[in-house]
Structure formats: structure tokens, C-alpha cells
Chains A and B, each alone.
Chain A
Amino acid sequence: MAIELSPQTADGTVPSTFLDVRDLRVHFPTEDGLVKSVDGVSFALEKGKTLGIVGESGSGKSVTSLALLGLHKGTRAQVSGEVWLDGNELVGLSEAEMRALRGEKVSMIFQDPLSALHPFYTVGNQIAEAYMVHHKVSKKEAKERAVEMLKRVGIPQPDRRVSDYPHQFSGGMRQRAMIAMSLVCNPELLIADEPTTALDVTVQAQILDLIADLQEEYGSAVIIITHDLGVVSQVADDILVMYGGRRIEYGSAREVLKHPEHPYTWGLLQSMPSLTGDVHAKLNPIKGTPPSLINLPSGCAFNPRCAFKDRVPDGRCTTERPELRPMAGNEKHIAACHLADEEKAEIRGTRDKTDRLAK
């Protein structure tokens, strides 16, 4: 899996990677100012691989994914940058051209399937509709296809449940139906936006397994968007950590989880409950709130919440925006932080010590 520092500008060549997002920006003009929901995000993904995009609410994860589907077209959003999918650039496509790709080549699993499915149409109708819009088949064939998909995602008695309405399904079944709908056209890129939020843990695991199985079966590229590092650690090959609409850390899942380089990633990891740890140990949330996307803090966007900014000399954290740079020992692991490697090593050392003491 090749991760590279994507060029900041178009270089004229068509990327060979299946999905190559370069300097994607999504800005929303509002009366209060320009909301920079996504501000210069780049990543790449091969078929059969999974990318986890992680961050708090408002970090730009969902807006990024909607941009990949071209769903900002026709709205007030200003989208720039490049999205190369299988040799085609998507940002410049017309609504009609993009529509032909939606659901067929790129499809999306939305969070909260109760509101994402139409309450007035049967589950089968909604799945069949997604199939019929891209395939010339009769209603009967499309319905058979819907039954087949429901069966594939593990809904019992699919030939009967196909005529049920979304409100007659349980939460987990609704998410399965949503997945069936997204996969009905065998998309090559599947984006799952918080696919397991609001589901209980056992169902979460089932849904993640299901996505992984289907990915193996169809060889799709998958992007999982979540605020839950537990989820990405199970399924992702690569991890992109976003903060305030920007990338702050990007690398293989193994690297990012084992050797996180950004204090924000540390915070995310620390705020996760551990199965093996002390049950009485208090969770350690990241203090403060996500930044305003209209007025990002100067310098490093994370600096008001960062506990280690004093370790960087000359107050650079508040004045100078850190560039993404490759981490020592691994060129493919990049992070945007001013902290020197020695400082990080020292912080890691003391933290390990306190961790051990706590145990």
C-alpha cells in the first residue's frame, strides 16, 4: 500500500491509484463568514483496502465523504481540489455525469438508517429503486435482486421482510438494509459514515464483519468514517485523523495506533475505554471543544487544547501552522506537530510510567 505526500497542485498526470484525493476543500459561505469544513485534505486508497477517517464532530469527516459523492453539487458549498476515481476526476463533473456514478460506482452507507431510509416506502422498494436506476431490469427482477441482497446481509426471511417498512425493522436490521441498498450495484468505492453509531456493541461487530466480508467478496475500496478508534482498529488498513477540517495525522493503521505522533491522536486513544485495563480507571477525555471552522485558532488548530504546547520553543504552536512531515523511521507516516521527536519520546516515557503506576 503506497502512501505518499500528495502534491499540493495538479501535476497533469492521471494518478494510478484507484482513489486519489488531492487538496480537497469544501467551504460554505455563511453570514458569519466562510466555514472551511474541509480545508486541503489529501489521501489515496487502493481497491480492496480500507481507510478509516477519524475525528470529532465537526472535523470535516462527513463533509469530505459527501464531496466524494458529489452531493455538494447544486448547494452553496464551494468545492475545490481533485478527486480522482479510477482515472476520472469527479470534482469537475456535471451533476448529470456525477449522478450516473452515484450508487453505481461510489455508494454510501449513512449513519442513522431510521432517518436515512424513506419512511413511506418499503425496504424492498428502496433497494429495488437503487438497482433499477442503474440497470435496465423489470420491477420483478429488481425486487428479486432486493430479496437476494437482504439475504446476503443476513436478514431472516428476506422474501417476507422485503415488503416491510423501515419502522418495522430493528436498528441493526435497518443498518443491514441500508448496507444492502448501498451494495446492490456492486460499487467499487463504498463510504460508510458512522455505520455503527447508535447500534449496540454486538450488532456493531456484526455490521463491521459484514462490511469486511462484502468488501472481500466484491473487492471494493472502503472508507469508514467514525469517531470511534475501536472501530477503525478492527477494520482499517490506513488511518487519517482530521481536526478542524485538516489532516493532522495519516499513516497505516498499525503505525498510527502503535506509534501515534500527534497529541490529538494521543488524546483520542486515551479517551477510549480499554477492555484489559483497570475498570475503575477514569477515562481521560480531550479537554475543550472542537474549534470554530470560521476562525480556526492561529498556528496549530489544536493548540488551545494541547497539553504539550509549552514544550515547543518560542510559542510556535500559536503562531506557526505545523506542516505535515514524515515521522522518523517511517516515511509513510505523516503528522502535523511542532513537537521534537525527543520531546515526544520523553512524554511517551512519562506516560508509560504513570500508566504502569496506575495499574
Chain B
Amino acid sequence: MFRYLIRRLLAAAVVIVVISLITFVIFFALPSNPALLACGKTCSPSRLAEIKHSLGLDQSLATQYWNFAKGIVAGRTFGDNSVVVQCSAPCLGISFASDTPVFQTLMQDFPVDLSLALGSAVIFLIVGVGLGVLAAVRKGRLADKLSVGFALLGVSLMPFFLGLVLLWAFVDKWQLLPAPGYTPITQDPVAWFEGLILPWATLVILFLAMYTRLSRSSMLEVLSEDYIRTARAKGLPRRTVILKHGLRAAITPIVTIFGMDFGYLIGGTAVITESVFGLNGIGKLAVDSVTNFDLPTILATTLFAAVAIVLANVVVDIVYGLIDPRVRLA
């Protein structure tokens, strides 16, 4: 198991380096001029050259990448004698828009995405798999049709629509909930919870369908396996047959997709949901940086999302090893 873990981690590290290289090249080798963007509209040629130099843009692309990578590990100092900006490790650059280190902004926004992802993922995983198992066990009957139909309805609603409907119903009309927003959990757990109920609900309804259908089909497949027949032939109670023998085997494909989705959510990709509920997460940061052409922030958010997905996949691989002994020992 330990060697397996080390192998997975090394592979993940390689993937992350490659991703950082690709994103870096895409953004800094583009024909756009980062120095001009950093400089602003009224910019003299001498000032432009100065900025170019202080950002290190007059060096070769390879050197620039090396400095960027080194900055992540060891921190970095921009500028020269006159203006010096310190960017401590892990340095992902200085935002052109706000002149603050990007990593700092990223970390400010991250708890929003973490709360959003964790809360919704726990709910849609448990409810989705629960409905899926129920549907599989009662295949063809009312419970099956209801859970599949309900899940399908959920996935067909776009978050901007669903979010607005929820807002209108729960906040404006019935006034059951305060206006959604993010309050740090350390500051006020109740406000944190209340402010996130609607965003969670939106994401849950959005993701539930896939988990219900996936676990239903996976469960149906497993329930037709020979070892399920063996379990019944041993005289095991139905509950043991379904949960211990069935679900344990059916959960593998669900874990795969869940890892992807969770990395996706943590990486700030629930942009629409964030926008509808006015949450300042990494998704919103990314969108804003694109509109402002704030290259360091675009680079950082892209990289962050990629790392989140890669790390989530490492966790998936570890969970695989725990679930399936054949993976662990291979």
C-alpha cells in the first residue's frame, strides 16, 4: 500500500509540473504584451521597458518559467533598485489589477469554494447513492421511477435558473432564509450554514442526477454478479447482501466520478452558482481576472483548479486501494 501511494504521488507531481508548464507557456507566450497590461493606458516607452525588466519579461521564456517555478517554491522579488515588490513563497505572481500577491487572494477566496464543495458533495453523494441503491433494488417499481425521474428533472435545470427560483422562493417570498452569502465558519457557524444552504441546494440538485443514475446502474450490474448469488445462497439477510456485498463493489465507479467532481468544485469551477448567489470564490476571481486580462491571476486560478483535480484523483486512487484489494496488491 505504501509503495502504491508513493507511486501515485510521484505521478501526480509530474502531472502538476507539466500542467504548470503548459499554462505558463500559453499565457506568457501569447502575442499579448503583459508589460503593457501591467503598465496601464497612459504609458511611456521608458516606463514600459522598466516594467518589462522588473517583471523579467526581457528574459528568455525558459528563464521566465524557471523564475516562476522557483517563485512557487522559494518566493520571489520583483523589480530592481527603485521599486521592490516582495512576493513570498508560494509566489504565483503579483496581480496586475490589485498589485497584491495572487496567492494571497487565492487563499482568501478558497474557503468559499471549500465550504461550497464540501457541503454540497457530502449531500449529493449520500443522497445520490442512496436513491441509486433504492432504485436498483426496486428496479421497475414506483420508487425506481420516482428517483430516476426526480434526478433527471434536477439535471435539466440550469443553475442560473434554479438558483434564481430558489432565491425568489426561499428568500423573497417565504423569507425562510437570509440572503445567501459567505460568512467564515470561524466567525459565525450559523450564518455560515444559513448563507450556504441555497448554493448547496443548487449544486446538489445539479449533481444528484448523475450520482443517482450512476449508482443505480452500477448497483444493478453488481447485483447480477455471481458473488451476490453466493451471498444469498449462504443465507445472508437481504440488507447484508445489498450493502456489504453489493454496495461495496458498486461504489468503485462512483468514487472515480466523485473525485473528479470534487476537484472540479474545489477548483472554483462552480462559477455560475457563485455568481448567482454573489459568493466571492475562486470561480468569480477567475472570471474577473479574464475580463481584466490580469495574466498572473488567470495563470494562478488555472493552475489551482488543475492541482485540485490532480490531488482529488490521488485521493481517489488511495480510496481505490482501500476498497479493492486487487488494486492494492497489484
- What is the minimal beta-carbon distance from A178 to any residue of chain B, in angstroms? 8
In contact, B234 and A130 (Cβ under 8 angstroms): yes
Question: Is residue A99 within 8 Å, beta carbon to beta carbon, of the partner chain?
Answer: yes
Complex interface bits, B224-243 against A, C-beta within 8 A gives 1, otherwise 0: 01110111111111101000
Complex interface bits, B247-269 against A, C-beta within 8 A gives 1, otherwise 0: 01100000000000000000000
In contact, A120 and B249 (Cβ under 8 angstroms): yes
A103-B233, A103-B234, A181-B234 known; A120+B324 contact, CB < 8 A: yes
The CA-CA distance from A154 to B123 in the complex, in Å, is 49
Question: Which B residues are in CB contact (< 8 Å) with A293?
Answer: none
Question: Is residue B25 within 8 Å, beta carbon to beta carbon, of the partner chain?
Answer: no
In contact, B325 and A165 (Cβ under 8 angstroms): yes
**CB-contact partner of B233 in A107, A115, A119, A129, under 8 A:** A107
**CB-contact partner of B227 in A107, A115, A168, under 8 A:** A115
- What is the minimal beta-carbon distance from A93 to any residue of chain B, in angstroms? 13
In contact, A133 and B326 (Cβ under 8 angstroms): no
Question: Which B residues are in CB contact (< 8 Å) with A103?
Answer: 233-236
- The count of A-to-B residue pairs whose CB atoms sit within 8 angstroms is 70
In contact, B231 and A118 (Cβ under 8 angstroms): yes
Question: Which A residues are in CB contact (< 8 Å) with B227?
Answer: 115-119
Chain B interface residue count, Cβ-Cβ cutoff 8 angstroms: 22
A115-B226, A116-B226, A165-B326 known; A71+B249 contact, CB < 8 A: no
Query: For residues 119 through 144 of chain A, which have their beta carbon under 8 Å from a beta carbon of chain B?
Result: 119-120, 129-130, 133-134
**CB-contact partner of B235 in A119, A133, A167, under 8 A:** A133
- What is the minimal beta-carbon distance from A100 to any residue of chain B, in angstroms? 7
In contact, B323 and A129 (Cβ under 8 angstroms): no
In contact, A99 and B237 (Cβ under 8 angstroms): yes
Question: Which A residues are in CB contact (< 8 Å) with B230?
Answer: 110, 116-118, 181
Question: Is residue A104 within 8 Å, beta carbon to beta carbon, of the partner chain?
Answer: yes
The CA-CA distance from A107 to B233 in the complex, in Å, is 7
The CA-CA distance from A103 to B229 in the complex, in Å, is 12
In contact, A134 and B235 (Cβ under 8 angstroms): yes
Question: Is residue B245 within 8 Å, beta carbon to beta carbon, of the partner chain?
Answer: yes
In contact, B226 and A120 (Cβ under 8 angstroms): no
Question: Is residue A101 within 8 Å, beta carbon to beta carbon, of the partner chain?
Answer: yes
The CA-CA distance from A190 to B117 in the complex, in Å, is 53
- What is the minimal beta-carbon distance from B247 to any residue of chain A, in angstroms? 11
The CA-CA distance from A167 to B326 in the complex, in Å, is 7
The CA-CA distance from A261 to B8 in the complex, in Å, is 65
By beta carbon, the residue of chain B nearest A131 is: B234
Question: Which A residues are in CB contact (< 8 Å) with B231?
Answer: 118
The CA-CA distance from A69 to B238 in the complex, in Å, is 15
Question: Which A residues are in CB contact (< 8 Å) with B324?
Answer: 119-120
Question: Is residue A333 within 8 Å, beta carbon to beta carbon, of the partner chain?
Answer: no
- What is the minimal beta-carbon distance from A61 to any residue of chain B, in angstroms? 15
**CB-contact partner of B229 in A116, A120, A168, A181, under 8 A:** A116
Complex interface bits, A264-302 against B, C-beta within 8 A gives 1, otherwise 0: 000000000000000000000000000000000000000
- What is the minimal beta-carbon distance from A294 to any residue of chain B, in angstroms? 21
Question: Is residue A108 within 8 Å, beta carbon to beta carbon, of the partner chain?
Answer: yes
The CA-CA distance from A210 to B233 in the complex, in Å, is 21
**CB-contact partner of A71 in B225, B229, B238, B245, under 8 A:** B229
A-B contact pairs, 13 of them (CB 8 A): A71-B229, A99-B237, A102-B235, A103-B234, A110-B229, A112-B226, A117-B227, A120-B323, A130-B234, A133-B235, A133-B236, A133-B240, A165-B325
A66-B229, A99-B237, A103-B234 given; 15 more Cβ-contact pairs under 8 Å: A71-B229, A101-B235, A103-B233, A104-B235, A115-B226, A116-B227, A117-B227, A118-B231, A119-B324, A120-B249, A129-B236, A133-B235, A165-B326, A167-B326, A181-B234
Q: Which residues of B come within 8 Å of A, CB atoms?
A: 225-227, 229-238, 240, 245, 248-249, 323-326, 329
